[in-house]
Structure 1
Amino acid sequence: MKSYLFHEHTREQLKLKAEEGYMVVVALAATEQHGPHLPVFTDSFIGEFVATEAIEEAARTVPILLCPVIPIGCSDHHIRFGGTLSFSSATYLMMLRDIGESLVSGGFRKIAFLNAHGGNEPIMHQTANDLAVKHPIWTASASYWSLSREELRKENADEVGMVPGHAGGFETSAIMALREDLVHAELGGNEHDERAWINSGPPGTFIGRHSELTGADGYTDAPNKATKERGERYLAAISRSVTAWLIRTYQSMDSGERSVVKEQ
């Protein structure tokens, strides 16, 4: 099977793929505190799994490549708890822009960003917008929870707590499915002081409070309802949703590109 991994190809192979109209996916994640019970690589474990599963499946239908997952994001709101690596928002914007510029210089005209950490989201969208303004290319950007909201609802994912939340029952279930050996759920407790205002607005809105952007003590809800089986179901639902989005996105870009060529 032909590799869908950007980094397994030579420069000549990548030049050819750019000429053939491949879409390149830049997957974004983070290394940051996830309460006393989850590894700091939680978002990266989830993000890499989802990106790999979804792109492997999408590659059966459309020409697509996955860049190496970026494991450090914009996580300044976690710094005070320790165990966090972070770019400032300004640095992160510049870094994502430079990655996009590198792909454009390499000849790629279709670039999609796939995100697994909330703090990255607004900067990711801005980067995609800036690149499309500056260059005659197609860009797209999305976070996995936005793409899978309906599928996760069907799986009754909020049975374990806030979705996606931060280091609560949802993410704990996902890490149990991926790396159960790294989970210390008992340290998260059976009860947690939840903040009703977190995610209280409709999609696309923001509300936050100093020192508590991710909940009391740096996490949103207790992990006591998390299970490996639930995590497996949630991850499968996310992967299905992301696969469908990637295929639709490529097809929209390709169709639009062909229309532009005809008009010229």
Structure 2
Amino acid sequence: MNLSILRSHTVGTPPWSNGRVYSVSVACQATIHFSVLASAPLIPPGPLRRRLFSELSWPEVAQGAARTGSTVVWPFGAIEQHGPHLPLSTDALFAERVCTAVLDRLPHDLPIWQLPTQSLGFSHEHRGFAGTLSLPPELLLGLVVAVGSDLAAAGFQRLVLFNAHGGQIALLEVAARQLHAARPDLAVLPCFLWRGPEGIAQRIPEPERQRGLHAGLAETSLMLHLAEDLVGPERQADGPLREAPEGWSLEGQAPCAWLTRELSSSGVIGDPAGATAELGQALFEALVEGWRCRLQSLLNSDWPPGTLRG
């Protein structure tokens, strides 16, 4: 490496130096092997400075990936219709905002980072409504495998697929299995925003728990809390929801395949009429705290057994 280039890299005031200037003196050698710089401890130890993967430098990524239990969380959403009153980016916004809040509450010394949100998803069930953009399932699956493989090659040990779109739950579970089969050194954990955290169901009336599948009370309330300016005034139910045959369901146990236009002319499946920002705030807190506990548990564990570096 040319000495002038070396000086440009080694003389200055790093952002972590508290104003101190660091310099290097070279008496004889005019060149230096790049491998020496590549392996040098460029980032001082201590609390993580940033949680967003895209804001890290490559040495920070390399050092972070080498830590025991290094984990990356990848938010997934969709660009799809959410009735006449919610934005197309509803699921992507929810995934990103909840994920960011969760990571902000975790201790800053834990090795966990957030990837940029994957906003485009698999939304074939909402086709026929203007604005819905849906990726072919094989494209989204291939994307997960490709990105996950690169993370594994960098040394990361866990990847959480943090999904807020119900229409791609099964697809991301398949992608997770395929990725883990290709890279057994990477634990892959697909999850769905609305499944698991306590304190959600009891805040939603019983009819809406069963039928509020899309742009209903819960999603509208959460959006009123997070981005009220994006919520339109047309918040009416689309009439009685068509019931699945006895013993079957639209979601949950024994689910039927369905298209939104078969159930709703407005794109709303549920009743958003009673939505409030106060309910949205309560739901947000339950979601954030619930997922904070789950990720904290994961980070404290040795999952998957026998694969984490000591």
Task: Return the TM-score normalized by structure 2.
Answer: 0.75
- Aligned residue in 1 for 2:187: 138
The letter of the residue matching 1:35 is G
Alpha-carbon distance between aligned partners in 2 of 1:160 and 1:175, rounded to the nearest angstrom: 20
Aligned residues of 1:157 and 1:234 also touching (Cα < 8 A): no
Of stretches 47-56 and 129-138 in structure 1, the one that deviates more from structure 2 is 129-138
Instruction: Assess, with a 3 A threshold, how the Cα gap between structure 1 residues 246 and 43 changes in structure 2: closer, same or farther.
Output: same
- Aligned residue in 2 for 1:11: 58
Question: Pick from 106, 111, 133: which aligns with 1:85?
Answer: 133
- Aligned residue in 2 for 1:200: 249
Aligned residues of 1:112 and 1:139 also touching (Cα < 8 A): yes
Please say if 1:100 is aligned against 2:148. Answer: yes
Please say if 1:180 is aligned against 2:265. Answer: no
Structure 1 runs (4+) greater than 6 angstroms displaced: none
Higher relative contact order (CA 8 A, sep 6+): 1
Alpha-carbon distance between aligned partners in 1 of 2:257 and 2:186, rounded to the nearest angstrom: 35
Deviations 1:74-123 (A, max 9, x none): 01211211111210111111111111112112221211111100122111
Question: Mind listing any 5+ residue stretches in structure 1 that lack a counterpart?
Answer: none
Question: Mind listing any 5+ residue stretches in structure 2 that lack a counterpart?
Answer: 1-47
The letter of the residue matching 1:19 is A
Alpha-carbon distance between aligned partners in 1 of 2:227 and 2:219, rounded to the nearest angstrom: 12
Q: How does 1:43-192 map to 2 (within 5 A)?
A: 43-60=91-108, 62-135=110-183, 136-148=185-197, 150-154=198-202, 156-158=203-205, 161-162=208-209, 165-185=213-233, 187-189=234-236, 192=239
Alpha-carbon distance between aligned partners in 2 of 1:6 and 1:73, rounded to the nearest angstrom: 21
Q: Which has the higher helix share?
A: 1
* Larger gyration radius, structure 1 or structure 2: 2
- Aligned residue in 2 for 1:24: 72
**Deviation at residue 201 of structure 1 after TM alignment:** 6.8
Alpha-carbon distance between aligned partners in 1 of 2:258 and 2:54, rounded to the nearest angstrom: 40
Aligned residues of 1:165 and 1:171 also touching (Cα < 8 A): no
**Deviation at residue 12 of structure 1 after TM alignment:** 1.0
Instruction: Assess, with a 3 A threshold, how the Cα gap between structure 1 residues 44 and 261 changes in structure 2: closer, same or farther.
Output: closer
The letter of the residue matching 2:289 is R
Alpha-carbon distance between aligned partners in 1 of 2:263 and 2:298, rounded to the nearest angstrom: 31
Task: Return the TM-score normalized by structure 1.
Answer: 0.87
Please say if 1:41 is aligned against 2:89. Answer: yes
Percent identity over paired residues: 26
- Aligned residue in 2 for 1:224: 273
Aligned residues: 258
- Aligned residue in 2 for 1:243: 292
Instruction: Assess, with a 3 A threshold, how the Cα gap between structure 1 residues 210 and 74 changes in structure 2: closer, same or farther.
Output: closer
Instruction: Assess, with a 3 A threshold, how the Cα gap between structure 1 residues 256 and 230 changes in structure 2: closer, same or farther.
Output: same
**Deviation at residue 200 of structure 1 after TM alignment:** 3.2
